[in-house]
Chain A
Amino acid sequence: MSSYLLFAVGILILIGIYALLTMSLNLKFGVTGLIDLGLVGYFAVGAYTYALFTASPPGTGVESYNIGLGLPLWVGFIAAALAAGLFSFLVGLPALRLRGEYLAIATYAAAEVVKAVASNEEWLTNGVVGYSGLPQPMRGAVEAGNSYQYVFLAIVVVSVVVVYWLLRRMQVRPFGRALRAVRESEEVALSVGKNVARYRMKAFVIGGMIAGFAGALYIGYTTLIVPTMFAAEVTWTAWIALVIGGSGNYRGAILGTAILLSAQELTRFFQASADMASLLAASRFVAMGLLLVVIIRFRPRGILTEKTESDIALVGD
Chain B
Amino acid sequence: MGVVETLIFGLVTGSILLLGTVGFSMIRRVDNFLNIAHGQMVALGGYFGYTFYQQVGLNFAVATIAAMVVTGVIGWLSYKVVFGPIREHGPLYLLFTSVGLSFIFHGLIEMVWGTTPKAFRLGQMFMLEAGDSVLASSLELWIIGVALAAVVVLHLLMTRTRTGISIRAMSSDVNLARVRGINIEKVSGIVWIVGSSLAGLAGVLMGAQGTVFSDMGWSIILVILSASVLGGLGSIYGVMLGAMVIGIGMDFSVQFINPAYRYSVAFAVIMIVLIVRPQGIFGGGTSE
Contact = CB atoms under 8 A, between A and B. Distances in A.
B222 interface: yes
A297 B107 contact: no
Contact of A289 (B107, B264, B271): B107
Nearest to B91: A101
A109 B270 contact: yes
A66 interface: no
Contacts of B100: 240, 288-293, 296
Contact of A102 (B85, B222, B274): B274
Given A35-B92, A112-B267, A296-B86, A285 B104 contact: yes
Contact of A106 (B85, B102, B104, B271): B271
B15 interface: no
Interface string B265-282: 001101100110010000
A278 B89 contact: no
Interface string B114-145: 11000000000000000000000000000000
Contacts of B110: 278, 281-282, 285
Contacts of B97: 292-293, 296-297
A291 B108 CA distance: 15
B106 A285 contact: yes
Given A104-B34, A105-B225, A296-B97, A279 B111 contact: yes
A110 B288 contact: no
Interface in A91-106: 94-95, 97-102, 104-106
Given A102-B229, A285-B110, A293-B101, A119 B260 contact: yes
A133 B115 CA distance: 29
B97 to A, nearest CB: 5
Interface string B79-112: 0001001100101110111011111111111110
B96 A292 contact: yes
B258 interface: yes
B226 interface: yes
B91 A283 contact: no
B263 interface: yes
Contact of B267 (A101, A109, A285): A109
B263 A289 contact: no
Nearest to A295: B100
Interface in A253-303: 278-279, 281-293, 296-297, 300
A116 interface: yes
A108 interface: yes
B274 A108 contact: no
A109 B288 contact: no
Contact of B264 (A97, A112, A282, A288): A112
A14 B230 CA distance: 38
Contacts of B225: 105, 108-109
B103 A101 contact: no
A116 to B, nearest CB: 5
A283 B222 contact: no
A56 to B, nearest CB: 28
A210 interface: no
B53 interface: no
A47 interface: no
A120 B259 CA distance: 10
A199 interface: no
A239 interface: yes
A95 B233 CA distance: 17
A282 B107 contact: yes
A107 B275 CA distance: 13
Interface in B6-40: 33-34
Given A102-B278, A278-B114, A286-B104, 17 more contacts: A100-B288, A101-B33, A105-B34, A105-B225, A109-B222, A116-B264, A120-B258, A240-B96, A279-B111, A281-B110, A283-B111, A289-B102, A289-B107, A292-B97, A292-B103, A293-B104, A296-B93
29 contacts: A94-B271, A94-B274, A99-B288, A100-B91, A101-B33, A102-B274, A105-B274, A106-B271, A109-B222, A109-B271, A112-B267, A116-B261, A116-B264, A232-B218, A239-B99, A240-B96, A240-B99, A279-B111, A282-B107, A282-B109, A289-B102, A289-B103, A289-B105, A289-B107, A291-B100, A292-B100, A296-B86, A297-B85, A300-B86
Interchain residue pairs A-B with the least CB separation, the first 8? A289-B103, A285-B107, A292-B100, A286-B107, A282-B110, A109-B267, A289-B104, A293-B100
